[in-house]
Structure 1
Amino acid sequence: MTASLAGYLADGGAPLYSAAKHGIVGLLRSLKNDVAKYNIALSVVAPAITLTPLITSSGRRSSTDPAEWAASMVKRGLAINKAETVGLAVAHLINIGMQAKGQGLLLQKDKVVDVERGLAKSREMWMGKEMLDVFRGGSNALKAQSKI
């Protein structure tokens, strides 16, 4: 599925877009284990701004040349991806098959990081041990109930 940087880090100015992209990330988190039973590896690619013709066709940009617009934005400090980077991330997920299950690849400045893996590894740090144990207990109880 395709989310966006806005699906992980919301910023002002586009609340509906950000909410939609957060929904995609939530769908990944809630369905990844269920669909894996059917040999489906659900994952997300979440690119930041990516250089495509859509950049200038939206009517909000002054330049009609995407490369020219991108160059001016990079000079101002904005990180921009090449479309090829997004394509390579998707190809990588396809190539690794079921190992892609649950991955949330954030792409920024043509670099990639698995945000979902980082969040999972640091869960105790941001939830606290007690809250994480409570969550796991409730989650396990619900899983056991659904098998009855």
Structure 2
Amino acid sequence: MTSVDIPADYPLFAEAKDKVVAITGGATGIGAATVSRLHSLGAYVSFLDVDRKNAEAMIQELSGGNNPVRFYPGSVSVWADQVRFFEGVVAQHGRVDIVLANAGIMSAGEPLLADTLDDEGHLKEPSLAVLDVTLQGVILTSKLAIHTFRKQKSPGSLVITGSAASYVDGAGLPLYNAAKHGVLGLMRSLRDDLAAEPTDIRINLVAPSFVETPFTAHALDIWRQNNLPINQPSDITKALLFLALNREYHGRTIYVAAGIFSEIEGPIEATRATWLGKQNDEWYKQRRDKARLAKEE
């Protein structure tokens, strides 16, 4: 891993002023902390969320100044809601500079391994709501972000909120782990294609370990009792802003644990021949290079 220093007063953050930012899942937790910080930096922030109560309270709190925060009610799992969101931001500001695909949910006690039966004794179909929001929602956000940046013909930055679960397994949460592995795969599969486009579109990912939010309140005592690393939402906000604004970062991940930041995609790529095997690494590079040439032809 490569350590990254991201202080709260990082000079780069001043570049957020006057940026137009669209963020999903902005009403609570990481999203709320990020909306508030961006607003304080002078950005024009709009967010999409299903939580009207907390969203409207935030709007009241951040209503002052020349950059009032705007709330769009809706679900990231619904295409029409996301289209309305993006079209609304563009209509209001004329462009979008930064998109933060942050919305996600975790279902405690996921039903995948539970043999839940219906009234007739048949196995019930498991709920896939976690995938609908945490993976499908990010895919839809990414699609609209890239389309918007292309249409504007201007640079754009897309940052996805992944998780430590994007890289390591977590017991008892198979669907959440699948979703967070999925968003990492999405970022990795898009980075080369976006780098080859004439429009400067960057994509990156933040992978937080445990974050103290209402989202994780049910497990907080266990983490404290076992002296495990705990992040605050403001820690993840710093990583999101760093990747959103730092033009040197594309196709990278900032891993966050106990407020300590590490870039891990670079080291993973550098050691591929070790963990994949030299011959397999050569074959991988050949397939990747041929795919790139085919796209250019």
* TM-score for the superposition, normalised by structure 2: 0.43
Q: Aligned partners of 1:12 and 1:19: how far apart in 2?
A: 12
Equivalent-residue separation in structure 2 for 1:9 and 1:55 (angstroms): 18
Name the CA distance, whole Å, in 1 between partners of 2:238 and 2:295. Answer: 38
**Displacement of 1:78 after TM fit?**
1.8
Distance, in Å, in 2 between the alignment partners of 1:19 and 1:55 is 18
Moved over 3 A (4+): none
Aligned to 1:66: none
**1:53 CA displacement:** 2.7
Amino acid at match of 1:24: V
The corresponding residue for 2:224 is: 74
1:53 correspondence with 2:214: yes
Output the CA distance in 1 between the equivalents of 2:223 and 2:295. Answer: 51
Is the counterpart of residue 18 in structure 1 residue 164 in structure 2? no
Higher helix share: 1
The code of the aligned residue for 1:138 comes to R
Instruction: Indicate the residue corresponding to 1:2 in structure 2.
Output: 161
What does residue range 1-148 of structure 1 map to in structure 2 within 5 Å? Answer: 1-36=160-195, 37=197, 38-56=199-217, 60=218, 69=220, 73-97=223-247, 99-148=248-297
Q: 1:139 to 1:55 in 2, by over 3 A?
A: closer
| Distance (Å, rounded) in 1 between the aligned partners of 2:204 and 2:215 | 24
The separation in 1 between residues aligned to 2:192 and 2:246, in whole angstroms, is: 17
Which of the two has higher C-alpha Rg?
Answer: 2
Inter-partner Cα distance in structure 2 for 1:118 and 1:100 = 14
Three-state SS of the structure 1 residue aligned to 2:256 is strand
Counterpart residue identity of residue 119, structure 1: I
Query: 84-93 or 135-144, which moves further after superposition?
Result: 135-144
**1 or 2 for the larger relative contact order (CA 8 Å, sep ≥6)?**
1
**Is there any run of 5+ residues in structure 2 with no aligned partner, and where?**
1-159
What is the root-mean-square deviation of aligned Cα atoms in Å? 1.6
The one-letter amino acid paired with 1:8 is Y
Q: In 2, distance between residues paired with 1:85 and 1:39?
A: 27
2:207 and 2:236 map into 1 onto residues whose CA distance is 9
TM-superposed deviation, 1:35 = 2.1
